[in-house]
Amino acid sequence: MAILVDSNTRILVQGITGDFGSRHAKLSLDYGTQLVAGVTPGKGGQTFEHGTHKVPVFDTVGEAARQSGATVAVIFVPPPFAADAILEGVDAGLDLVVAITEGIPVNDMIRVKVGMAGKKTRLIGPNCPGLVTPGTGKDSHGGCRIGIAPGYIHKRGNVGVVSRSGTLTYEAVWQLTSRGYGQSTCVGIGGDPVNGTNHTDVFKMFNEDPETEAIIMIGEIGGEAEEQAAAWAKANCKKPIAAFIAGASAPPGRRMGHAGAIVSGGKGTAAAKIAALLDAGIAVAATPSAMADTLLKHWGR
C-alpha cells in the first residue's frame, strides 16, 4: 500500500517551466510518475514536452487541478513566492503539497501554517527532497517520485524511511537496496524550523501501513521532534525502528546546514535525542554507514 502516494497519484508541478522544475519533472516522468499538469502564471495554454509526454501548463493551481484531476502539487518556486504557491494548493483543496524550495522566510512559513489550519491539505517540507514510493517495474519504475530524490536507487519493499536530511535519505535507501531490502515509501520531511509534517506524523502513517514492516528514521540536532517521535513510538509502535542522529560532534549553539538544526537552551542535543530513542527501544546507528545494518540487526534479518 505504501503511504501518501502511489502509482495512481496524479501530480502537478508548480514552476514546471523553470530550469530546476523542468529538470526534475522530466526525471519524474521517466520514473513513471503520473505527472499530469504544470503551473506557471502567464504561461497557461503552453505544453511541457518530454519524449512522448505532453503535459499541459496552466496559469493557476485551481485550474490545473480541475482540468487534470491532480491531487498533489510539488513546488519548485523561488523562495519569495513559495509561500503563496503552497497556499494556492491549499486553496485548491489538494490532498498533499510537497515544497522542495529552500530558503523560504520563517515569517512566510508561519503565515502558511496559519493559512493551513483546519484545511485538509498536508504539507511535506519545505526545504526537502520530497518523497518516493517505488514501483514494481524494472528498476522499481512505475511508482511515484515527487521532488529531487534519485529514483534509480530505490527498490520496492517493506522498509519505511523518514528523514530530515536529503542526502542521508539517499544513503539509507542505497544501503537498503544494496542489501536486497526495498522501501515502501521514503519521505524527506526537510529540516526547516517551521514545516508541515514531522517524524511523528510519518511514524503514525507507517505504523498503520500493512506493507511497512520496519522503519529507518534520520534526525538532526535541534528542536525536539525526534524526542517526541520516540515517545510516541514507545507507546504505540511495535515495528522495529533504527535511527541515526546527525550532528553529534557539533558544539552547543552550532547551526548546521538546515535552518532547524540549532541547539539552544540545552535542548536538541544529539545526546538527548539518542537517549530518548534508546529509551523507546529504537536502535541507534553510530555512523551514517551503519544505518541499514543497524536496522537489519534490530529486525533480526
Q: Which residues are catalytic?
A: 258
Contacts of 38-43 with C-beta under 8 Å, sequence gap 24+, read 38/12, 38/13, 38/14, 38/64, 39/12, 39/13, 39/14, 39/15, 39/64, 39/73, 40/14, 40/15, 40/16, 43/17
Amino acid at 114: V
Query: Residue 301 and residue 297: Cα distance in Å, rounded?
Result: 6
Question: Which three cell numbers, joined as nine digits, stand for 137?
Answer: 517495474
Could you say which DSSP state residue 255 is in? B
Query: Residue 115 and residue 217: Cα distance in Å, rounded?
Result: 29
Query: Residue 158 and residue 183: Cα distance in Å, rounded?
Result: 5
Question: Which three cell numbers, joined as nine digits, stand for 49?
Answer: 514536452
Residue 235 exposed, middle or buried by CB count within 10 Å (0-12, 13-18, 19+): exposed
Query: Residue 202 and residue 189: Cα distance in Å, rounded?
Result: 9
> Phi, psi (5° rounding) for residue 172?
-65, -45
Q: Is residue 249 classed as helix, strand or coil in its secondary structure?
A: coil
Q: Is residue 131 classed as helix, strand or coil in its secondary structure?
A: strand
Give the HSE-up count for residue 146: Cα atoms under 13 Å, Cβ half-sphere. 38
